[in-house]
Amino acid sequence: MRMKPVRTLSGVTPVTVLTKPWACPGNCIYCPNEPNMPKSYIESEPGAQRASFLDFDPYMQTAKRIQSLQHIGHNTEKVELIVLGGSWSVYPENYKRWFIKRCFEAMNNPNEGSPNLVETKTSWEELEVQQEINETAKHKCVGLSLETRPDLITQEEVVKLRRYGATKIQIGVQSLDDETLAKNLRGHNVATTKKAFELLRLGGFKIHAHWMVNLYGANPEKEAEDFKKLWTSDFCPDELKIYPTSVIANTKLAELYETGEYLPYSTENLIEIVGELKTLVPPFCRITRVIRDIPSQEIIAGNKISNLRQDVKKYLDKKGLKCECIRCREIKQQEVLESELKLEVIQYETSISTEYFLSFVTTENKIAGFLRLSIPFEELREEHFIEELKGSAIIREVHVYGGVVGIGKEEEGKAQHFGLGKRLIEKAEEISRENGVRNLAVISAIGTRNYYKMRGFEMENGNLYMHKTLEIMQRY
């Protein structure tokens, strides 16, 4: 029996794990603070409950999830590991290495490994051994996401994030208005967020931003104005979670609500605002969520509708408006004809690079696969803070839709059959050459290394990225 196919529609099975309870240097007024949870998580949230039940053990969380998905008939060959829990960057160094190593051990062998709740001293080398095993393991890690705060992103941190094998960073932006950030005690300003985006982009990471609506001090008229700043050259995230603020017990926001200083928007208002924000999202971004999954009994005030996405869609349909984000355009399991697909190139500038979003789209503008290419401006490229990226353009993501198809296997009629990934990479090489860039790097997840090897990318011992030297065509 195979249930809930939607989980793996994008070809990859997400496995979410939580780190142990730990404090966060932040003091955000809306953030719950439960003693037995990592900061910002609530024990009754479904994912948090699972993690807590397993004592936050990384091996058990990963293995159990893979086992239960297998049990209901899912293909779990391609796993996106999503590590949640407050701010990753502030956990102790050894804990982080151990945590990720144990997750890899579970992907490498989910059925036989023994639970080991005790953190053991773990070196980078020990982690790398498990990563190497994963290159050919049955459950390959094709994406690894970590979450942190903008003010914790430094050059050194970017390198470390890469050593864990991360390909995507979830980062709390919440607002791009300094006054609102200060009122909500975010503890960092807009300039810090800009810097974090620059460093993460230079590191080739996919940037998954979190954005909040109805923060303390915000007002309906200004929401869109603030949100528009997210699409200026300083930011442009690749993925986005929109969270309407919820008032949770024992937070400073709850006190402000009690005294009448904070007022949540009405449901109607909220639907209109989220709807408007969705129409402002460019086609290279994917909106992953429009609510946070907080059980309604935990919410004193604020949004309690768990299917806000559908309500927003109805509102947009009624108004004849559309969200053009990636998620709203994915072909999902739909069969596509190669002859129907057109390669579209969207070029945009950020504060540090020229970005190319290449996508194969159908005549109805449905998206069958895409690639993100980043070409840092010349000076930044030549002086790159990561030695092995000096002089390189970088592929930050390749994603081809279709049902879950084993890596290297083919399935009739599905998007992956056409070698769309290969064609996207060839186009990225062509664009890099046209820009006079002779080196192309890719931020490969551990489990995709062999895929890129087959496409001419190489990795030497100790490398954080895979590389390919491009032949520059001579014109006579």
- Taking the CA atoms of 391, 396, 401 and 405 in sequence, report the sign of the dihedral they define: positive
Q: Considering only residues 19, 40, 350, 392, which one is a binding residue for ligand SF4 as defined by CB under 6 A?
A: 40
Query: What is the spatial distance between Cα 347 and Cα 137, in angstroms, rounded to a whole number?
Result: 36
Question: Could you give phi then psi for residue 295, rounded to 5 degrees?
Answer: -55, 135
Token representation of residue 39: 């900061």
Spell out, one character per residue from 134 to 153, where the chain touches ligand SF4: x when CB under 6 A holds, - when not: ---------------x----
Q: Which residues pair with 79 in a beta bridge?
A: 13, 141
DSSP state of 20: P
Binding partner of 28, given Zn ion, ligand SF4, none, CB within 5-8 angstroms per partner class: ligand SF4
CB closer to Zn ion, 283 vs 447: 283
Any idea which residue has 């810097």 for tokens?
195
Question: Could you give phi then psi for residue 439, rounded to 5 degrees?
Answer: -120, 135
Q: Provide, rounded to whole angstroms, the least separation between the CB of residue 292 and ligand SF4.
A: 11
Query: What is the spatial distance between Cα 161 and Cα 155, in angstroms, rounded to a whole number?
Result: 10
Q: Provide, rounded to whole angstroms, the least separation between the CB of residue 62 and ligand SF4.
A: 22
Q: Is 472 helix (H, G, I), strand (E, B) or coil?
A: coil
Q: Provide, rounded to whole angstroms, the least separation between the CB of residue 149 and ligand SF4.
A: 5
Binding partner of 149, given ligand SF4, Zn ion, none, CB within 5-8 angstroms per partner class: ligand SF4
Q: Using an 8 Å Cβ cutoff, are 405 and 411 in contact? A: yes
Binding partner of 110, given ligand SF4, Zn ion, none, CB within 5-8 angstroms per partner class: none
**Alpha-carbon separation of residue 188 from 178, 181, 193, 223, 262 (angstroms):** 8, 7, 8, 19, 21
Question: Judged by CB under 6 A, does residue 208 bind ligand SF4?
Answer: no
Q: Considering only residues 31, 127, 323, 443, which one is a binding residue for ligand SF4 as defined by CB under 6 A?
A: 31
CB closer to Zn ion, 163 vs 327: 327
Q: Considering only residues 172, 203, 244, 376, which one is a binding residue for ligand SF4 as defined by CB under 6 A?
A: 172
Q: Using an 8 Å Cβ cutoff, are 251 and 290 in contact? A: no
Q: Considering only residues 11, 86, 150, 402, which one is a binding residue for ligand SF4 as defined by CB under 6 A?
A: 86
Question: Judged by CB under 6 A, does residue 48 bind ligand SF4?
Answer: no
Question: Judged by CB under 6 A, does residue 11 bind ligand SF4?
Answer: no
Any idea which residue has 């024992």 for tokens?
250
Binding partner of 107, given ligand SF4, Zn ion, none, CB within 5-8 angstroms per partner class: none
Chain contacts with ligand SF4 (rule: CB under 6 A): 24, 26-28, 31, 39-40, 86-87, 149, 172
